[in-house]
Amino acid sequence: MTTIQNLVEHRIAAHFDPVFVEIVNESHMHNVPPGSESHFKVTLVSKIFEGMRSVKRHQAVYGVLAEYIGSPIHALALHTYTADEWGQRAGSPDSPNCLGGGKA
C-alpha cells in the first residue's frame, strides 16, 4: 500500500538527492483521526541547498510537494540544511505540542 509518507519520501529523494532525509508522520500529535497522514516533520540535507537562504529551501520543498499540500498534507515542519550545517548540528529540533483542535 502506498502511503502519503512514501510518496513524500520518493518525491524528495528524486528531486533533492539527499545526503540525509528523515520524514516523520506527526499526525498522532494533532487532533486528527487515527492513521491520518496530515502532519509531517521533514529533515532534509542536500547539496542543492548550498548558497540558498532558508526561505528558498522551503519554497523548493513546497514546490516539489505542491500537489499534496492542503490535502492530504495539512502541515509540514521543514528543517533544511547543507551538509556543512548538518555536520554542526545534533539532529533536528523537536516539534512543539499541538495547541489547537481540542487537544491539550
Pick the CATH number of 4-87 from 3.40.640.10, 3.50.50.60, 3.30.300.90, 3.40.920.10: 3.30.300.90
Would you state the pLDDT for residue 64? 97
- Residue 31: strand, helix, or coil: coil
Chain mean position to CA 61: 8
Would you state the pLDDT for residue 1? 77
Would you state the pLDDT for residue 103? 46
Chain mean position to CA 72: 14
Would you state the pLDDT for residue 104? 42
> Which residues of the chain are under the pLDDT cut of 70?
90, 96-104
Would you state the pLDDT for residue 101? 52
- Residue 51: strand, helix, or coil: coil
